[in-house]
Amino acid sequence: MRHRRSEVWSLKSGFTLVEVLVAVVVIAVGIAGATTLGVTALHAAGVATDRLLALGRLEGEIVTLRAQAELKGGLVPGHQEGSWSQPPGATWKADEVADLPHLTSVSLRAEWMRSGRLRSLNLTTTIPQKE
């Protein structure tokens, strides 16, 4: 028995239901992975922005402490703290310790909340004392 070309073509054309379901699952997994990657990247960018803001604020506090040391002839060992509006709810603390004859060690710490987690950044420097 001989089949005509059009009959053979019609028997082999199209996809089975299993093939379509497998293709839909593969596409859905790919879309879910891309979406998760995008959300993770946005979160990481937000954390990096907060850290950059906190670092800039801490560096500003160091400049202020250096200026105070210049004006007053040195820093008095002790503790200072304050807060900022950005990152939201951020606080900072500075501890000055005169551990060397002509240097004061200054440790600064910024803390803020991001996505329900406490984030922090520490910065330590030394400020020369006038003789």
**The model scores a pTM over 0.85:** no
Domain ranges of the chain: 17-128
Tens of pLDDT along the chain (131 residues) come to: 565 555 555 556 788 999 999 999 999 999 999 999 999 999 999 889 989 988 998 898 888 888 888 888 777 788 888 888 877 788 888 888 877 778 888 889 999 888 888 999 999 888 887 76
User: What are phi and psi for residue 84, nearest 5 degrees?
Assistant: -130, 165
CA angle 57, 128, 112 (to 5 degrees): 20
